[in-house]
Amino acid sequence: MKILNVAEKNDAAKNLAGYLSGGNLRRAYLSVACPYLEFGVYKLQIDRPIFKILYFYSQRDGFSRYNKIYDFDCTVFGQRCQMIMTSVSGHLLNLEFVGNYKNWRGCSPMALFDAPVSKFCPQDYQQIKRTLEREVRQCGVLIIWTDCDREGENIGFEIIQVCSAVKNNLRIYRAKFSEITAQSARRALQNLSQPNINISNAVDVRQELDLRIGAAFTRFQTLRLQQVFPQKLADSLISYGSCQFPTLGFVVERFNAVKNFISEQFWKIKVTHTVDDLSVDFRWKRVHLFDELSCQVLFDKCMEQPRAKVENVQSKPKSKWRPLPLDTVEMEKLGSRKLRINAKEVMRVAEKLYTQGLISYPRTETNIFPKELNLRPLIEQQAQDSNWGEFANRVLQEGPNPRVGKKSDQAHPPIHPTKYTNSLQGK
């Protein structure tokens, strides 16, 4: 039986093929120990010939040079199957308006809220589509290996739509995983499920709303303002997006606040007490004054008898909590604050690490590690590192005991390393 497997990106397809095939060689070969082995004049007879078949994947080109095809054998559904693993490059299909509604002046912008829409494959993705159509013709089963989130589920149904148009009697399955490792890939293959149409439909609704709202307001603004300012905006596009406009509002609001801020000088009294090498700054209850003379009078009064008397001492314990397990938003904040990388770049790097099998899925709202996730072997891998190995060993000695958060998306664990490497470069 031949099975078509489709991942979301080529890196993911390559790594999944390597793990499921049991090796990283690019050819399959047969190893046979013959009954007679000759060494010069000596002949050794073996009573039982030894036959050994090693299965690895082979790589070939698809119509798209960026999306390779990996062939290998693997046991699925209790039988040996020929696996064909390939990939898309994110969303394969886009939404567009039908007929005359595509024409900016063909209808009123208001009509776009009710205009018919359809999905189409952009020109840049036609070669990927051709590869899927060619490969699925010889297969009876389709397994979706896209990322296990809403967008991934929707991309999976786009793949299903393209493949089912060629072969309508396909058996279709969904592989669910949170990391691209050998153990996770094999577990996903052993626990195949059905794709979730409700999750995919939720993405379709969001895409359709974005298209209708964005196109209607963009056309309205552009056509209207070009009439008002024909010289300045004759060839300009004034776009609108349901996310970009609120964000632009925050930016403008902050800009106006900074622009309209009027700075004023202020004065304050600062008291510092030093004993040996320890210095303590005391805060003034009045914080500061905008009148220099008043502040000077109070300062002079203090300096008449420059002595202080401790009237009361209050103390209370302060706890410094360990960080919560890492979710997507916190990862973006830390990347921006600690590494000076913007949020978009943080996600790009994290997704690259994920497809290489080095970290778990980076899009998650969960900050609670599931009880069944054994963290000790993961930490033991990191104990060999020259930079953070000492810290990893300390965690092992005290026992992996992560702090428990309050959020779970019921899909993916918090972001964590899944494999050790010392060959990372750049960001």
Residues labelled catalytic:
361
Nearest to 17 by CA among 185, 193, 192: 185
CA–CA–CA angle 409, 158, 104 (5° rounding): 105
**DSSP letter (8 states) at residue 267:** B
Order of strands, sheet of 69-76, starting from the edge strand that comes earlier in the sequence = 58-60, 69-76, 79-87, 2-7, 141-145, 171-174
**DSSP letter (8 states) at residue 372:** T
- Written as one string, the DSSP assignment of 386-400 is TTTHHHHHHHHHH--
Instruction: From residue 348, give the alpha-carbon distance in Å to each of 244, 332, 353.
Output: 20, 11, 9
